[in-house]
Structure 1
Amino acid sequence: MIKQADGIAIETLTTPVAGKLIHAHCSTIVAFHDGELVAAWYWAVKEANIDEEIYISRHLPREASWSPPEPWGLKSRIMFDGNPVLWIAPDTGILHMFYNAGWGWSMVFAKHKTSKDRGRTWKDERNIYPFLSRGVKNPPILTSKGTYVLPAYVEFKFLRGVFFISSDKGRSWTQSTFVDLDPGIIPGGYEAKKGRQVEQPAVIERRDGTLLAFFRNDGKPMRKMLESTSSDGGFTWSAARNGSLPNPAGGFHVLRLASGNIAAIYNHAPSPGNDQKWRNPLSVALSEDDGATWSWRRNLLEFHLDATGGDAGGSNERDPGTEPKPEPEPETFEYPTMTQGHDGKIHATWSRSHVVSVNGTLQRVTDIQYTSLNEAWVKERRFFEDAWESS
């Protein structure tokens, strides 16, 4: 059963197409000053398929619903496009798109385009790095020094964090040192290659001007977000050590809000097993001290195996030829991301992985979902360590 939090409404932005569009994943979202929202994700029959392409949907002010998703139409014939990252540069108002293009997650180019018409047309394609093996997942930040710092990672031989810094508004990028796992935190008896667990970072600038990055790990053995700091604008970084928030080998996003607080949207799954084996529940937490501690938390969605029925964001009756799943299957809420509008509202998207009947065959599909919330809603509940939010 899915338990959806009170006080939020959830919309599903995708409908699977049998044999073609089954896996919609790694979404991204931005909000323009007039309230227009633009979301993007990659969509294909399966992950890293050669037909994988970026799709875009938008929600216009005063419109009741999101537009039907459309491919962005710029995919190469010989490479897939994945992990789109939208970002509106605060200093110029230009919309940026960062994404991965390649033949497998370890063999991708990190690419960059810009748009001056809110993503209807794109130009100025560049490679962030000239060679294969650099990937992106979360948006950059504009620092107090006027530089852009783009979080990235290497998934070739090792999993390592890395950052790219631009001092010319994204026209060129300089690579930082690598971020590797501190060997001192690896438990005895656990073998891990250097840097094995450090990937897909999100970054904030703290009030003192230093940078704090949060990293995904592979879920073993710590199951924690990893953290690293930089005191020189992102060019060099400390070794990654355990943070306080859990991470079940999944993507997440961390964002400084207009209030000055830090928001994290992630999976608060502190231990594996049963219905919280992977990316479940979907949580939002707030920090009032630059990510040192977390004061508030709400669960947006929880999936429980102890009952049948329930759904998030609508019925499982899908078109074409889909029917409700006949018995409970584990569901997960993956790769969440968020942005904040000028009115203070927080807009979030994520992937919902669940099983439905597609043309009479049970199949796991991944849809993109959306909701909006505000800080006051999150602050209705103090931070709690357990996975589940009690009534």
Structure 2
Amino acid sequence: MHIILFFLIIRLTTCTNSIPFDGIIRPSGDGSSYAFLTPPKDGNHAAFIEQLTPSGTLAVAWFTGGEGRPNCSIAVSLLAVGSEQFTPGVIVSERTNYSNQNPVLFWNNRTQILHLYHSSQLGNGPESTSELWHLQSQDKGKGATWSKSSSFYSLPGAFDRNRIIPTLDNQGLIYPCYNSSPTYDYSFILRSISDTSTWTRINMTNSENLIQPSIIRLYNSKVLRSFFRDENAESIYYSDSNDDGITWTVPKRTILPNNNAGIHANTLKTGAVIMVFNNLNGTSLPRSPLTVALSDDNGMTWPYQRNIQIHDDGNSTYVGEYSYPAILQSFWTGRDDNDIHLVFTYDQQTIKYVRFNERWIKQGQRIFY
């Protein structure tokens, strides 16, 4: 026991001393940039990133304090346009004896309100106790002050994870969610038709054990495409909606693997679909590598792929956990000419931020089909 503890202390000390969790953006030497955010607690996971307009500020939210533990909290960090350092993570939502997890940020440009949704379950309790909670920031796009969190959707076992997108008429919202129950897990959406309307729940067809839907609108199209995490740890799946989320097709496999870990998709300005995922299936290996891929045919093939993280920074012999990504493309470009922003779990010690562009991805591995 003493020997194990000794090596654990060495491991933690090495990570802490060699990697500054200071939020400063540094060049990687390969055209990308990176930063390690400053967490308020140990046990950091499931980051999300959103852009505020017109300011362009980036907001990152994640949970801190250990998954499932009592008093696990939601933290937020901000990056102003032109800044080279994220603000330290600040706790914005905490419930005594509850575990707040899976934050999802949504910036409503009409109302200039930054919304934050998250799950909240009994600390050390089953996932079936989870509900969805909500808070908001109304400080004119600064994201610095927040309301008190309150219950938003009380379906037992309700979770969220991925991006909220506007309806086709840009008046309502489509909020991807999933349910964790004692029998099986499945996906659903909450759909609104305006800023003030109620939300309608729509279950996604045949989505048993396919969770954490990541929904995109295909380029110059009415079609919605949802990609799913596979709890059987085999493949990323996809499903389509031709009526703006009212009905969904039966899910089919993509050619990308899944290890029963989080994924995130988005549509870029060029029309390409970008996906971030752990590039392996099965659950016997660590959640590595974390890979970014591009598709020019709406997710049927992924000819451009590049690994984001394979092993710990500064320690090529240690393969840790690099998971639960979130990605967006900003309207602004950094001084490094990069406009794609990625956040992900780094060994559950902190959240890592990486910035690159579409050209950088294409300089990686080319896959021929």
Normalising by the smaller structure, the TM-score range is: 0.7 to 0.9
State the SS of the aligned residue for 2:245: coil
Shift of 1:172: 2.4
The residue that corresponds to 1:42 in the other structure is 63
Higher helix share: 2
Shift of 1:92: 4.4
The residue that corresponds to 2:327 in the other structure is 338
What is the aligned counterpart of 2:108 among 84, 89, 95? 89
Name the CA distance, whole Å, in 2 between partners of 1:375 and 1:91: 29
- The size of the alignment, in residue pairs, is 328
- Provide closer, same or farther for how the CA distance between residues 351 and 126 of structure 1 changes in structure 2, counting only shifts above 3 A: same
1:110-157 deviation digits (Å, cap 9, x = unpaired): 123332223223348664433321110011111322231111001112
Name the CA distance, whole Å, in 2 between partners of 1:381 and 1:62: 28
Superposed, which structure 2 residues align to 1:253-264 within 5 Å?
A: 253-264=264-275
Matching of residue 347 in structure 1 with residue 348 in structure 2: no
Matching of residue 116 in structure 1 with residue 129 in structure 2: no
The residue that corresponds to 2:49 in the other structure is 29
Superposed, which structure 2 residues align to 1:104-253 within 5 Å?
A: 104-117=126-139, 118-123=142-147, 127-146=151-170, 147-157=172-182, 158-169=184-195, 171-181=197-207, 195=208, 197-206=209-218, 207-220=220-233, 223-253=234-264
Shift of 1:166: 0.9
Amino acid aligned to 1:83: N
- Provide closer, same or farther for how the CA distance between residues 250 and 271 of structure 1 changes in structure 2, counting only shifts above 3 A: closer
Q: CA RMSD in A?
A: 2.6
What is the aligned counterpart of 2:298 among 285, 290, 311? 290
Shift of 1:167: 0.7
State the SS of the aligned residue for 2:269: coil
1:23-46 deviation digits (Å, cap 9, x = unpaired): 1000011223434221111011x3
Whether the 8 Å contact between 2:161 and 2:177 is mirrored in structure 1 is yes
Whether the 8 Å contact between 2:73 and 2:95 is mirrored in structure 1 is no
Whether the 8 Å contact between 1:128 and 1:173 is mirrored in structure 2 is no
Shift of 1:170: 6.3
Whether the 8 Å contact between 1:128 and 1:172 is mirrored in structure 2 is no
Shift of 1:270: 4.8
State the SS of the aligned residue for 2:104: strand
- Provide closer, same or farther for how the CA distance between residues 169 and 7 of structure 1 changes in structure 2, counting only shifts above 3 A: same
Q: TM-score normalized by structure 2?
A: 0.81
The residue that corresponds to 1:302 in the other structure is 310
1:197-253 deviation digits (Å, cap 9, x = unpaired): 211110012243121111101244xx1111112222212222222112111111011
- Provide closer, same or farther for how the CA distance between residues 124 and 234 of structure 1 changes in structure 2, counting only shifts above 3 A: farther
The residue that corresponds to 1:57 in the other structure is 77
Name the CA distance, whole Å, in 2 between partners of 1:150 and 1:205: 13
Greater relative contact order (Cα 8 A, min sep 6): structure 1 or 2? 1
Superposed, which structure 2 residues align to 1:10-25 within 5 Å?
A: 10-14=34-38, 21-25=41-45
Amino acid aligned to 2:279: H
Name the CA distance, whole Å, in 2 between partners of 1:77 and 1:171: 31
Unaligned segments of structure 2, at least 5 residues = 1-27, 334-338
The residue that corresponds to 2:13 in the other structure is none
State the SS of the aligned residue for 1:176: strand
Whether the 8 Å contact between 1:43 and 1:52 is mirrored in structure 2 is yes
Name the CA distance, whole Å, in 2 between partners of 1:170 and 1:260: 31
Q: TM-score normalized by structure 1?
A: 0.76
1:31-80 deviation digits (Å, cap 9, x = unpaired): 23434221111011x311011001111122333322121111x3222422
